[in-house]
Copies of this chain bind each other. A is one copy, B any other.
Amino acid sequence: MKNFLERRNKIRRIVKSQKLDALLVTNPLNVRYLTGFSGTASSLLVKPDGDILLSDPRFTIQIEEECPDLDAVIRPRSESTSKTLAKLLGSPSGAKGQKHSPTAGKLGIEADSVTIGQQERLFQHIPHWQSVPTKNVVEELRQIKDKDEIAKIRRAVGIAGQAFQYVRENLQPSLSEIDICIMLEHKMRLLGAEEKSFPSIIAAGPRAALPHANPTPQILKNQSHLLFDWGAVIEGYMSDLTRVLILSPNKKLQKVYETVLQAQAAAIAAIKPGMICEEIDAIARNIIADAGFGKHFGHGLGHGIGLRVHEEPRFAPSDKTELKAGMILTVEPGIYLKGWGGVRIEDDVLVTKTGCEVLSRDVPKAFDDMCSML
């Protein structure tokens, strides 16, 4: 509870500094981050003198359970959010007694959450309020994880790792990518995950060359390697890992694998507060290029994780963000050779005060450890 209030107070200070009279938070992940409420279709109004959660009767009991200390307005389902806003906003501070002035106040909205249609509907009953699109106000705060958030991601990483170990022990040549996907995701649920972070990528042999492969009925028999990209969700927080099992080792596979692993290790070794995201990306990218695979690493080195599986900042060629303690990012170099296959190795890394901690360090990744004869 205390965490949520602290977060809202930080947002309140930003709202003031941006000279807004209020901010309407509509992105459900931002609402959850600021209140603990995990439902949908609800908004948080942040005002200089307090916060109000706007919701509808479907969520009355859930709000009582999840955020007992927060003021909530449950509008009848026949009433629009705009009408509720009109009642709540009244005249803004600094404009008292001027309710009918052409501009009653400035209402910040989230530019990357509110659609054009929504904006029109929101301001229907508050036409005198000025709509001020804001960007990344809450998202920027979300980049730095606090203790609670780190603990949840740690658990999400742990469950993903345990489920992967279980699947390794139960692999059989007759299993298909889809069979393995279902087994993995089911095991994460049995271990306590509320959900998967995203539809798992389970890709054997040549299909591993597709960074976003969907699992197919292709069975493991006669395949050289099997790529897993998967994650678990704990109280909304996500893990995101990639490992490659070697089903039939060969020299080329080992060379590609070791190159990716070396690139990843070098990048991780450089992670510490003060480094710039693009610098970390360049370290891995240069190693892969030097090994002759530069054209075959077509995506960024990594991304923030949290309530979303892809958050800012990014380990990418043009991301100038400075690393700070409390950020958690993936580090996931890859080499993809069309028609042959691909290797990607991905860990979740917490930036600490002095360097970093690999949260997924217990999930093996040395080439020899990944050889998994069927």
Contact = CB atoms under 8 A, between A and B. Distances in A.
Interface of A: 39, 57-59, 61-62, 77, 109, 111-120, 133, 135, 182, 185-186, 189-190, 195, 199, 210-212, 298-299
Given A182-B190, A186-B182, A210 B118 contact: no
A295 to B, nearest CB: 12
A117 B132 CA distance: 11
Given A39-B212, A111-B117, A120-B133, 7 more contacts: A58-B211, A59-B212, A112-B117, A115-B115, A116-B119, A186-B189, A195-B199
Nearest to A60: B210
A63 to B, nearest CB: 12
A253 to B, nearest CB: 21
18 contacts: A58-B211, A58-B298, A59-B212, A62-B210, A77-B298, A109-B116, A111-B116, A111-B117, A111-B120, A112-B115, A112-B118, A113-B115, A116-B116, A116-B119, A116-B133, A120-B133, A182-B186, A186-B189
B114 A116 contact: yes
Contacts of A182: 186, 189-190
Contacts of A212: 39, 58-59, 62
